[in-house]
Amino acid sequence: MKSICFYFQIHQPFRLKTYRFFDIGNDHYYYDDFANDEIITRIAQRSYMPANEMLLDMIKENGKKFKVAFSITGTALEQLEQYVPEFIDSMKELAETGCVEFLSETYAHSLSSLVDPEEFVSQVKAHDQKIYQLFGQRPKVFRNTELIYDDDIASMVASMGFKGAITDGAKHILGWKSPNYLYKAAPVPKLKLLLKNSKLSDDISFRFSNPEWAAYPLTADKYIDWIASLPEEEMLINLFMNYETFGELQPRESGIFEFMKALPRFASQHNIEFMTPSEVVSKMKPVGELSVMHPISWADEARDTSAWMGNILQDEAVNKLYCLSERIRLIEDKRIRQDWNYLQASDHFYYMSTKHSSDGSVHSHYSPYDSPYAAFTNYMNVLSDFLIRVREQFPEEVENEELNALLLTIRNQEKEIEELNREVELMRNNIVKDTTGDFAPKVEEKEQEPEKKTPEKKAAAKKAPAKKVGEKKTTTKKVAKK
Amino acid sequence: MKALMFGWEFPPHILGGLGTASYGLTKGMAECGDMDITFVIPKPWGDEPKDFARIIGANSTPVAWRDVNWDYVEGRIGKVMNPQTYFDLRDHIYSDFNYMNTNDLGCIEFSGRYPDNLLEEINNYSIVAGVIARTVDCDVIHSHDWLTYPAGIHAKQVTGKPLVIHVHATDFDRSRGKVNPTVFSIEKDGMNNADHIITVSNLTRQTVIEKYGISPDKVTTVHNAVEPLSQDLLDIEVPPKHDKVVTFLGRITMQKGPEYFVDAAWQVLQKVHNVQFVMAGSGDMMEKMIRLAARRHIAGRFHFTGFLKGRQVYEMLKASDVYIMPSVSEPFGISPLEAMQMGVPSIISKQSGCAEILNNVIKVDYWDTNAIADAIYSIIKYPGMYKQLREQGLEEVNQITWDRAGAKVIDIYKRLINR
């Protein structure tokens, strides 16, 4: 039996306002609220809202046999909460049906997986926390910004406890293999990989209403026939697309909503079911390993990361941004942290792409700027101001190495504390064993009180370094004030 | 295929972009092969390159019979033209022009520049064209810019061959809309009589269609290109400098928008101090610009070099970090391409024809001095910007070669001849 796995992406960056070099050091607000409001409201009205309605209908009609997954970035969620709160409600309603799964990703739709592993982990956690707050789900399957993926990312993702990840079925990686199977990651075989079927996905999201396309008009009947006629062993069809496909990329009058609504009926005729990514990961068996040395993505013909980090402009912008990460980790100022998040959105770098081929025209279509050079100039002006603000907290004289040393001690202390805790638990277990033999060591609450007396010395040891950290922190701040 | 071209300037003695473009195009066409080009200019100096076109000087073409011998002619114009050509031409004098001011060889003198009696010189040029057209065998006639349109028309009437006129600029570009009616009528007459019109940009093509009322199917754009620079020029070394240098290079006239450069410079200087602005060139707005810079209190960082020529131009470019051309109206504008060849990031106005073919430059509206200032700031402050524009610009400009432009022109000739 074949399965279709749908996943829809929703992302909107915080677009920057025109920020001139005169503003550097004077104006610390960077965003084009008007454009951000206008764009997300328009897309929500034309696409997100009617598409949600459509999904809800489909789920109701098909007795929960129809399932989909969503990946919604933190920045998109923030904008939706602010400008289109009714969409969040509608999404909650969808979540309650139990037929919708939410995927994990970076909060800011960032490139941190390629540049800054530590930032990557913290962004993924922040995103999943946001999803949990809004929709009550803890994501189990990971999808990276623009499906960027390689072996290193696989290891990071697996170590965060994800069972599955989603990426593109890039031809130069798959070779003769088909994307219509479940794979596993070569460096960490316990991580299963779902690969996008580009042809079938793009048939819907890019070609559906194109009258010059040989297969036009596309009907649900025909589409399901294509899937049904795939070789019997190819069981998994991953259809990944932007949620704007419905109503925006393919306008309502193209019949895209009706097409979707008709899919489940024809699918059940051919005995094809719908699955969410986490169901796929738990139910299906991977057929082989995939090793990806150089990062891939779902963008452009090359399916690589050159759309974001492919020219000198992009390299400079990315480097200048991420050389701040160490300092920012020590900063608690909420506005700085928020700007740090928003400035990481991959879109800013995408606008700087200078590919002039057919890909280039797609780039300019999405860009609010005249040219990549204008995009770079504006972003760098903003970043220059941001840099000033970060420096005010941690001046340049504090060397990165010094900061690293500080961070290292802090991290080591965390580890130390953990280790000591474990030791405490062990000792505690030994002591309590006589009275409550079966107690699992992890249930701490009950034990914490009686045990406090015995390891007094350890507790003291625990506190001492923590104080030191505090002291050091204050000293650096003093330097800053000077 | 034999082409008879009428031009006004030819390197190395050039006054503006017209000579460079005429030369580049002729050479590019010659490189395409099977071309026999005769190039007429008012006043050759003798040091023009002759390997791909035969040069005829209008001032060495007799319009009145003089009984002179070979040695005398060789002594007089031998370094410019083969004496045999003189005698061939003399055989085709079609009327008695003795009433005109002719010299010992029966030729009319030309300045070859843009003198006050320019209209008279244009007229004389067209008289001479009648003799040349009767002498030189050709398949097509090609006139470069309005000064030579009357000559082209005359040659067409004499030979019956198709006339192509090449619009390097129109009076709308030169005058910011306040057109000289005499010039306009010469231009319009040329366009009406032409069998085909070549414009150096779509911008100019639009002007020709809209302002001169020419049918669009008679007008084709062939963008200009650049000659590769010699290694000697590329290797120019400039003394080390402490400040960034932003350069405007061109005639200081209304058309080139110099005041927008001053304003942008003023903005940048509010924020950055280690930068110098250079306005290289001369023109009728120079004094006004000097006063403007002084009034803005930036004279200390704003320099005027006067007219630069030859190697000086490239020395200036080599010392620059940013090149800027805020032209109000520029039919093509070859100098940003030269800046790019020297590896200088360029800012050009969207109202320039070359903006149509360049990607790795910053394009701004000429009046948008905020955008110009932003671009200057970005290039001098962010190394990535400088490097990207420099490297990609160099790569891009090296693809823009005259043989491609030449091939397009030859295609147009073929269409006309086979019509």
Q: Could you give the ipTM of this predicted complex? A: 0.81
Asked if B374 and A377 come within 8 Å (Cβ–Cβ), the reply is yes
Among B267, B383, B388, the residue with its CB nearest the CB of A311 is B388
Q: What is the pLDDT of residues A286-317, one digit of tens each?
A: 999 999 999 999 888 788 888 899 889 999 99
CB atoms within 10 A of CB B51: 6
Tokens of A271: 């005995």
Among A312, A356, A373, the residue with its CB nearest the CB of B362 is A373
Q: What was the pLDDT predicted at A474?
A: 45
Tokens of B280: 């290289």
Which amino acid is present at A76?
A
Q: What was the pLDDT predicted at B280?
A: 94
B172 by DSSP, 3-state: which? helix
Percent of chain A at pLDDT exceeding 90: 67
Query: DSSP character for A147?
Result: G
> B382 with B414: CB under 8 angstroms?
no
Asked if B370 and A373 come within 8 Å (Cβ–Cβ), the reply is no
Minimum distance, in Å, between the CA of residue B413 and any CA atom of chain A: 32
Give the list of residues 6+ apart from residue B299 with CB closer than 8 angstroms, or none. B290, B293
In terms of Cα–Cα distance, which of B242, B246, B241, B243 is closest to B376?
Answer: B246
Q: What is the pLDDT of residues A378-416, one digit of tens each?
A: 999 999 999 999 988 876 666 667 777 777 787 788 888
Rounded CA gap, B129 and B112, in Å?
A: 15
- pLDDT confidence band for A480 (50 / 70 / 90): very low
Asked if B385 and A373 come within 8 Å (Cβ–Cβ), the reply is yes
Rounded CA gap, A347 and A358, in Å?
A: 18
Q: What is the pLDDT of residues B79-129, one digit of tens each?
A: 888 899 999 999 999 988 888 888 999 999 998 888 888 999 999 999 999
Q: Which of B266, B385, B392 to mutate to test the interface with A (most CBs of A within 10 A)?
A: B385
Cα A42 off chain centre by: 23
Minimum distance, in Å, between the CA of residue B121 and any CA atom of chain A: 46
> B347 with B361: CB under 8 angstroms?
yes
> A8 with A68: CB under 8 angstroms?
yes
Among B270, B373, B384, the residue with its CB nearest the CB of A315 is B384
Mean pLDDT of chain B: 92
Residues of B contacting chain A (CB within 8 angstroms)? 267, 270-271, 359-360, 362-363, 370, 373-375, 377-378, 381-385, 387-389, 391-392
Domain ranges of chain B: 2-225+402-417, 231-397
Rounded CA gap, A184 and A165, in Å?
A: 9
> A192 with A296: CB under 8 angstroms?
no
Is pLDDT at A124 greater than 50 in this prediction?
yes
Residues of A in contact with B267 (CB under 8 A): 22
Asked if A377 and B375 come within 8 Å (Cβ–Cβ), the reply is yes
More confident residue, A173 or A182: A182
Question: For B297, left (φ over 0), alpha (ψ -120 to 50), or beta?
Answer: left
**Beta pairing class for B346-349 and B362-364:** parallel
Tokens of B7: 């031009």
> B248 with B258: CB under 8 angstroms?
yes
Which amino acid is present at B166?
H
Rounded CA gap, A262 and B124, in Å?
A: 81
Q: What was the pLDDT predicted at A460?
A: 46
In terms of Cα–Cα distance, which of B174, B233, B166, B203 is closest to B22?
Answer: B166
Residues of B in contact with A316 (CB under 8 A): 382-385
B296 by DSSP, 3-state: which? coil
What's the pTM value of the predicted model, to 2 decimals? 0.82
Rounded CA gap, B345 and B340, in Å?
A: 6
Residues of B in contact with A313 (CB under 8 A): 384-385, 388
Rounded CA gap, A299 and A305, in Å?
A: 8
A160-180 residues labelled b (16+ CB within 10 A) or e (exposed): eebbbbbbbbbeebeeeeebb
Rounded CA gap, A305 and A148, in Å?
A: 7
For domain B231-397, give the fold. Rossmann fold (3.40.50)
Average pLDDT, integer, range B57-78: 91
Residues of A in contact with B378 (CB under 8 A): 21, 373, 376-377, 380-381
B316 by DSSP, 3-state: which? helix
Query: Exactly one of A146, A244, A248, A447 is catalytic; which is it?
Result: A146
H or E stretch covering B27: helix B17-31
Q: What is the pLDDT of residues B88-99, one digit of tens each?
A: 999 999 988 888
Residues of A in contact with B392 (CB under 8 A): 311, 354
Tokens of B323: 């090149």
- Phi and psi at A175, nearest 5°, equal 60, -125
Average pLDDT, integer, range B132-136: 94
Percent of chain B at pLDDT exceeding 70: 100
Residues of A contacting chain B (CB within 8 angstroms)? 20-22, 24, 311-313, 315-317, 354, 356, 370-371, 373-374, 376-377, 380-381, 384
Tokens of B222: 């062939």
Asked if A377 and B378 come within 8 Å (Cβ–Cβ), the reply is yes
Is A146 a catalytic site residue?
yes
Rounded CA gap, A348 and A111, in Å?
A: 11
Is pLDDT at A472 greater than 90 in this prediction?
no
Rounded CA gap, B62 and B79, in Å?
A: 17
Among A21, A312, A371, the residue with its CB nearest the CB of B384 is A312
Residue for token pair 């920045």: A75
In terms of Cα–Cα distance, which of A378, A152, A129, A197 is closest to B362?
Answer: A378
Q: Which pairs from B203-206 meet CB under 8 Å and 24+ separation?
A: B203/B329, B203/B331, B203/B351, B203/B352, B203/B353, B203/B356, B204/B167, B204/B169, B204/B170, B204/B173, B204/B331, B204/B332, B204/B353
In terms of Cα–Cα distance, which of B181, B388, B72, B79 is closest to A352?
Answer: B388
Rounded CA gap, A369 and B371, in Å?
A: 12
Where does residue A22 rank: exposed (0-12), middle (13-18), buried (19+ CB within 10 A)?
middle
Q: What was the pLDDT predicted at A388?
A: 92
- pLDDT confidence band for A358 (50 / 70 / 90): very low
Given strand B302-306, what is the order of strands in its sheet?
Answer: B302-306, B275-280, B244-249, B322-325, B346-349, B362-364
Please state which CATH class domain B2-225+402-417 belongs to: alpha beta
Average pLDDT, integer, range A125-144: 95
Asked if B385 and A380 come within 8 Å (Cβ–Cβ), the reply is yes
